[in-house]
Amino acid sequence: MTTTIEFADLPQLSQISDLAHAIWRDYYLGIISGPQIEFMLMTDYSLDQLEKDRAAGTNFLILKENTQLIGFAAFRTLNSSAVKLDKLYLARQHHGKGFGQRLLLHIEQLATGCGATTAFLNVNKHNVRAITAYRRAGYSHHRSILAPIGHGFFVDDYVLQKQLTST
């Protein structure tokens, strides 16, 4: 099997939206409520929102196994020395195979190639699997946030950071 990581083009954003809906409904129930999942999918993963994010400078990467989309990530530049990883998701059947670490490393290499020295990301405080994976990759606690996102819902996240080094 061949796995590839590539920048998503505009038509592939609809595939990302579809995959996000499947992943979130499968993975996040038990971490956040069903209504919050649906609210966040509607606000953050609609095709319209993904297109707006891309137009505003968010870079989307897709991970394919052969020709099948199995995961995606998104990141953006915060300033000349920092990037923010906004999204990194894999279909559940592909967890534990190193694909998430591969996507993360790819983003870090792209970031250092553009001069970034720090990467930031948010992770839900109850998403133990993701927190473990990020810590294993060298990310550490930067701060905690609890912020309203609308309709009575909140993000309850850790902000993690990593100092990047050129390879």
CA distance 139 to 132: 10
Check: CB of residue 123 under 8 Å from CB of residue 158: yes
Given the structure tokens 């990037």, which residue do they identify? 83
pTM: 0.94
pLDDT digits (tens, 9 = 90+) for 4-24: 999 999 999 999 999 999 999
Tell me which CATH code domain 3-117 carries: 3.40.630.30
Residue 108 confidence (pLDDT): 97
Q: What is the pLDDT of residue 151?
A: 96
What is the torsional sign of CA 104, 17, 86, 143? negative
For the chain, give every domain's residue range.
Answer: 3-117
pLDDT over 90 (residue 1): no
Per-residue pLDDT tens over the stretch 31-86: 999 999 999 999 999 999 999 999 999 999 999 999 999 999 999 999 989 999 99
- pLDDT above 70 for 167: no
For residue 53, the number of C-alpha atoms closer than 13 Å in the C-beta half-sphere is 24
Q: How many whole angstroms separate alpha carbon 163 and alpha carbon 120?
A: 9
CB-based burial, 37-51: b 16+ in 10 Å, e otherwise:
bebbbeebbeeeebe
How far apart CA 7 and CA 41 sit, in angstroms, is 22
* Residue 29 pLDDT exceeds 80: yes
> pLDDT of 109-152, one tens digit each?
999 999 999 999 999 999 999 999 999 999 999 999 999 999 99
Q: What tens digit of pLDDT does each residue of 98-110 get?
A: 999 999 999 999 9
Confidence band, pLDDT 50/70/90 cuts, at residue 166: confident
Question: How many residues are there in the chain?
Answer: 167
Please tell me the distance from the alpha carbon of residue 159 to that of residue 112, in angstroms, as a whole number: 20
Count of C-beta atoms within a 10 Å radius of residue 60: 21
Residue 157: CB partners within 8 Å, gap ≥ 6? 122, 123, 124, 125, 144, 145, 146
